Amino acid sequence: MRIIKAGIQDTIQDSGRYGNQHLGINPTGAMDKYEMQITNALVGNHAKEAVLEMHFPAATIMFSQSALIALGGADFSPTINGEPVPVLHPIIVNKNDILQFHKPIAGARVYLAVAGGISVKEWMNSRSTNLKAKVGGFNGRKLKKEDHILLRLAYPYPVTQKEFSVLPWKADIRVPSSFQNEEASHLFHILPGFEWNRLTTESKEQVTSHSFELSQQSDRMGYRLNNIPLTTTTNEEVISSAVSFGTIQLLPDGKLIILMADHQTTGGYPRVGHIISAHHSKLAQLKSGDKIQFRLTDQQNAEELYIKQQQHLLQLQNACTFRIKEYFKQLN
Amino acid sequence: MNQNKFPYRIFSLGDAAATIDFGNVIDQTINQEVISRFHQLKGKPFPGIIDIVPAYSSLTIHYDILKVRQHNPVTETAFETVKQLLEEKMKQPVSERRIEKRLIKIPVCYEAEFAPDLQQFISAKNISREELIALHTQKTYNVFMIGFLPGFAYMGEVDEKIAMPRKQQPNIVAAGSVGIAGKQTGIYPLISPGGWHIIGRTPLKLFDAGRTEPILLRAEDTVQFYSISKIEYEDY
C-alpha cells in the first residue's frame, strides 16, 4: 500500500505491547481494540494483527497489489476510486485502487485491516507505534506521503474481478443483550478509583451527575475534560503508582483526564475512577467537544458487560472465518 | 489488614488490574519488598497475567479478565480470584534473591544551557551553583522504580537542602535532562512535558530502542552523578 496523501495522525497499531510496563514501556496499541479486532476478523486475520489506525482527515491510500481489506471503527465516508464503500464489510481491492475518506460521519478512529497483516518489524513483541519513544510500527512515526507499507502475505485468492468488490456480509458490532439498557453512547460506567474518597461529597456528586465535555487537548495519550474544578478533602501527595487505560485522574487544577492508549505506565495524580473495559471501545471513538456522563457501577457488572462483548466478538470472528471460507470456495 | 510483615491491602485498578498497596510512602525496605514480590510473581505467574508493575510502595497486576475466569471458574469475579491468588502468594515468604547491586555513574553537565531551572532553583534554596552540584553528586541514590516514560528512573533521596516540590506548570523537557522533584531525582529518557526542576543534562541514553537492553537503569540500581563540563558533554 502506498500513502499518496498523508492524514493528520495515521499509525500502525496492534493489540498493544505488554509485558514491559515494569521498564516504563507503555503498551500503546489500537485505541479501539474491540473494533480493531472486528476489522481483523472481517479479513480473516488473527485478532492481534497490526492494522492502520487513522484519524480525520485520514490518509489517501493506493493499493500496490490485490488485497482483501476491511474498514472498521469510525465512518469517515470512505470511497474506493470515488465510489462510496461501507464500513464493516470485507472488500476485495485490486492493484492501483485508491481508498479515500471524505467526511467524518461517526466516530473518531477508523481501522484498515488487510488480510495477512502489515509487514513491519516487531519491537518487543509488538508492531504498535510508540510515537513518544519513536519505535515500533512504521519507523516509530506516523505515516507520511510516499510511505510504502508492505503486506505480510501476497493476495491468497484468485483475482476474478476487474472492479473492487464489496462482499455481501457485514459485522454487527452491537452486543445483542446490552444495548437496550446500555444506553446512549455518551454514558460511561466507572469503578471508583483508589483516591475516589479524597473527593468532597459535592465533587463526587458532580462526577456522577454532571456531564463532561472533552477538551481540545484530547488525543491518544488521554482526554482532558472541561469541568468545573473538583475539590478534595486532602492535598496529601500521591506516591507514583500504576495507572491503566480508562483511568480517570484528577489534575492539580481540579480538572479530569481520562488515560487512553498512549498513557504512561505510572502516575502521581489521584485516581478518582476507571472507565470499565466494555466501554473502552465507545470511549475510543469520542472526539473533542463530545459530552459524556459517568455512572458508578461494580466489579461484577463491569466484568459481565466485558464478557458479553468478548462473546459477541468471538461469534463474529467465527462467522467471519466461515463466510470467507465459503465465499472463496465458491469462487474457485 | 493482614499478618504480613509489611501490611498491605489489595484494591482494584479498574476492572482488569489489581494493586497490592503497602501505603502511600517512600521507604527503601518497603520498596525492596515490592521488588521481591515482583520477582516472585514474575517467576511464577498465574494464568491471565499481562503485566506486573512495581512502583515505590505498590505492585500492580494487569490481567486478562477472560483468562482468569477460564482458569478459575468458581469465584464471583476475576478480581476476587486475582485477589485470592495474590493473598496466597503474599503468605508465602519470598525466596532469598541474590541482589546484584550495580553502581552506575552518570555524567551530568550542570551548565546553564542544559539546566533551564537551575538559576531559579538555587535562588529559591539560597545556595550557590557549586553547593547544588556538590550536594547532588555527593550522595548515591537508590532507583526505586521505573515508570512514567520508557526508562524513567525514580531515584532518591536527595539532601533536604536541595529538595523542592515539583513545578506548578510543566514544560517541555529535553531527553537526558536531570531533575529534582520533592526528595526525588530523575532523568528524562525522552523529550517530554515534565514538572521536575531541571538542573542539568546527561549525554547517556537512558532509553535506546536499538540496544539489546533498551533501558539503562533498573529498580534497585545505585546511581551516582558526577559533574562534567560542556566540552566533555559534547565529546561524550
Averaged pLDDT, groups of 10, chain B, 236 residues long: 77 98 94 95 96 98 96 87 96 81 96 97 97 98 96 96 89 96 96 94 97 95 98 95
Contact (CB, 8 A) for B92 and B28: no
What pLDDT sits at residue B3? 54
CA distance B94 to B40: 7
CB-CB: which of B17, B56, B168 is closest to A240? B56
CB-CB: which of A22, A26, A191 is closest to B15? A191
**Rounded to 5 degrees, what are φ and ψ at A105?**
-95, -50
CB-CB: which of B60, B66, B76 is closest to A241? B60
Burial of A100: CB neighbours in 10 Å, binned 0-12, 13-18, 19+: buried
pLDDT at A36 over 70: yes
**Rounded to 5 degrees, what are φ and ψ at B114?**
-100, 0
Interface contacts A/B by beta carbons within 8 Å: 150
What pLDDT sits at residue A157? 74
Mutation for testing the A interface, residue in B51, B155, B169, B216 having most A CBs under 10 Å: B51
Residue % of chain A over a pLDDT of 90: 89
What pLDDT sits at residue A183? 58
CB A299 to CB B13 under 8 A?
no
Give A-chain residues touching B50 at CB under 8 angstroms. Answer: 18-19
CB A194 to CB B60 under 8 A?
no
What pLDDT sits at residue B1? 45
B189–chain A nearest CA distance, Å: 9
CB B21 to CB A241 under 8 A?
yes
Please tell me what DSSP assigns to residue B117. Answer: T
Q: Which helix (H) or strand (E) holds B181?
A: strand B177-181
Helix, strand or coil for residue B104? strand
Contact (CB, 8 A) for B13 and A194: yes
- Mean pLDDT (whole number) for A32-59: 97
CA distance A299 to A117: 35
A313–chain B nearest CA distance, Å: 13
- Mean pLDDT (whole number) for A241-266: 96
Reported as a single tens digit per residue, the pLDDT across A83-134 is 999 999 999 999 999 999 999 999 999 999 999 999 999 999 999 999 999 9
Reported as a single tens digit per residue, the pLDDT across A64-85 is 999 999 999 999 999 999 999 9
Query: Amino acid identity, residue A221?
Result: M
What Cα–Cα distance (Å) separates residue A53 from each residue in A12, A58, A111, A234? 6, 9, 5, 41
- Closest alpha carbon within chain A to B154: A240
CB-CB: which of A123, A239, A302 is closest to B15? A302
A22–chain B nearest CA distance, Å: 5
A276–chain B nearest CA distance, Å: 6
CB A242 to CB B182 under 8 A?
no
Q: Give the closest residue to B40 by CA, choosing from B69, B20, B11.
A: B20
Residue with cell 538559576: B119
Where would I find the H helices in chain B?
28-43, 65-71, 78-91, 118-125, 129-138, 230-235
A181–chain B nearest CA distance, Å: 20
What pLDDT sits at residue A175? 76
Quick one: pLDDT band at residue A177, thresholds 50, 70, 90? Answer: low
CB A22 to CB B54 under 8 A?
yes
Contact (CB, 8 A) for A302 and A277: yes
CA distance A36 to A13: 9
CA distance A73 to A264: 24
Give B-chain residues touching A300 at CB under 8 angstroms. Answer: 76-77
Residue of A180 and A184 predicted with greater confidence: A184
Q: Which helix (H) or strand (E) holds A166?
A: strand A165-166
Q: How many CB atoms lie within 10 A of CB A201?
A: 9
Give A-chain residues touching B189 at CB under 8 angstroms. Answer: 24
Quick one: pLDDT band at residue A283, thresholds 50, 70, 90? Answer: very high
Reported as a single tens digit per residue, the pLDDT across A189-239 is 999 999 999 999 999 999 999 999 999 999 999 999 999 999 999 988 899
CB B14 to CB A123 under 8 A?
no
CB B150 to CB A307 under 8 A?
no
pLDDT at A182 over 70: no
CB A303 to CB B77 under 8 A?
yes
CB-CB: which of A24, A271, A274 is closest to B152? A24
B13–chain A nearest CA distance, Å: 7
Three cell numbers at B231?
Answer: 566540552
CB A300 to CB B76 under 8 A?
yes
CA distance A167 to A147: 28
CB A299 to CB B60 under 8 A?
no
Give B-chain residues touching A194 at CB under 8 angstroms. Answer: 11, 13, 19, 21
A27–chain B nearest CA distance, Å: 10
Give B-chain residues touching A247 at CB under 8 angstroms. Answer: 13-14
Task: Compute the C-alpha angle B76/B37/B59, nearest 5°.
Answer: 65
Asked whether the CA dihedral A290, A294, A299, A302 is positive or negative, the reply is negative
Give A-chain residues touching B60 at CB under 8 angstroms. Answer: 241-242
Burial of A6: CB neighbours in 10 Å, binned 0-12, 13-18, 19+: middle
CB A242 to CB B16 under 8 A?
no
- Closest alpha carbon within chain A to B183: A239
What pLDDT sits at residue B227? 98
CB B147 to CB A20 under 8 A?
no
Instruction: Give the global pTM.
Output: 0.95
Give A-chain residues touching B16 at CB under 8 angstroms. Answer: 244, 277, 306
A115–chain B nearest CA distance, Å: 26
CB-CB: which of B60, B189, B209 is closest to A135? B209
Instruction: Compute the mean pLDDT over every residue in chain A, rounded to the nearest whole number.
Output: 94
CB-CB: which of A18, A130, A264 is closest to B51? A18
Buried b or exposed e, range B122-148, using 16+ CB within 10 angstroms: beebebebeebbebbbebebbbbbbbb
Please tell me what DSSP assigns to residue B196. Answer: S
What pLDDT sits at residue A180? 46
